[in-house]
Amino acid sequence: MAEASARRIDRIDVAPRFGERDAIRLNNLFRGVPTEEMLRTVLAESMVGDVALVSSFGAESAALLHLVASIDPTVPVLFLDTGKHFPETLAYRDTVAERLGLRDLRILTPDADVLAKKDESGLRWSYDPDGCCEIRKVLPLDAAMAGFDASITGRKAFQASTRNALPRFEVDAAGKLKVNPLADWTKDDIEAWFVRHDLPRHPLVEQGYLSIGCAPCTSKVKPGEDPRSGRWAGWDKTECGIHTPVNDGDPDLPVF
């Protein structure tokens, strides 16, 4: 495993490579194309430039990791080790990586100096979860993504109301593409993929954790609730901040 540590305090500011029209073109090009065929074409033809898969190794992560690894196991996989994960998640990460033969797993960690200045007690999650996510997730990922043009994410539309219009392709504030291969997959689709390929399960799922992030901010999901309801319970917060799609300022283009 390659160890990496973010050394930048400010958000990475780079000239955009992609615009919203690129995302629209790709969404139109692959409309109706099966997920595996779409992803195979995108990767084989380098249609989104240098790309990395960003994975939390959470409840459903093995499906996307398997899908990508079956096409190209050399695609870099970025894991944000915030220092707050469940021990079960770290063990599961290693199990899945070995099982799928991931050849380029990169473990990203927060900058030690930033933690010392902004979260010396390690308890920022308890009074400022946005700030905690910023220094433990957003900044390290920004630094790592400086070397890539696009990322592959495991987000699905069914996970929460805030994701119900999720497209396959979108552009973030840095002008980098986000590829969401599983955007239109259902819970049943995910389950079928796990069964078909005999994928290992995250050990916390059977305990009622359906969306798994950092331990202090993850709780069990009650029957009938959406999977993301177990994240930051009690806070007006639904995302950690690493997914911020925007348009390029053209009022005639949709905001995904």
| Residue 64: CATH number of its domain | 3.40.50.620
Active-site annotation holder among 69, 114, 240, 242 = 240
pLDDT at position 121 is 95
Residue 195 predicted with pLDDT over 90: yes
Whether 110 maps to a domain, the answer reads: yes
- The residue with greater pLDDT, 75 or 224, is 75
pLDDT in tens, 204-247: 999 988 889 899 988 888 776 766 676 766 666 656 556 654 44
Residue 11 to residue 20: CA distance in whole angstroms: 21
Whole domain around residue 131: which residue ranges? Answer: 20-203
> What's the whole-model pTM score?
0.83
DSSP result, 123-184: -GGGT-HHHHHIIIIIHHHHHHHTT-SEEE----GGG-GGGTT--SEEEBTTS-EEE-TTTT
- The domain total for the chain is 1
Whether 214 has a binding-site annotation, put simply, is yes
User: What is the spatial order of strands in the sheet that 177-179 belongs to?
Assistant: 2-5, 105-109, 77-80, 51-54, 150-152, 177-179, 169-171
Whether 51 maps to a domain, the answer reads: yes
φ, ψ for residue 141, nearest 5 deg: -70, -40
Whether 223 maps to a domain, the answer reads: no
Average pLDDT value over all residues in the chain? 84
Residue 47 to residue 41: CA distance in whole angstroms: 8
Whether 143 maps to a domain, the answer reads: yes
Question: Sorting pLDDT into bands at 50, 70 and 90, what band is 112?
Answer: very high
Residue 6 predicted with pLDDT over 90: no
Residue 103 predicted with pLDDT over 90: yes
Whether 188 maps to a domain, the answer reads: yes
Whether 84 has a binding-site annotation, put simply, is no
- Residue 159 a catalytic site member: no
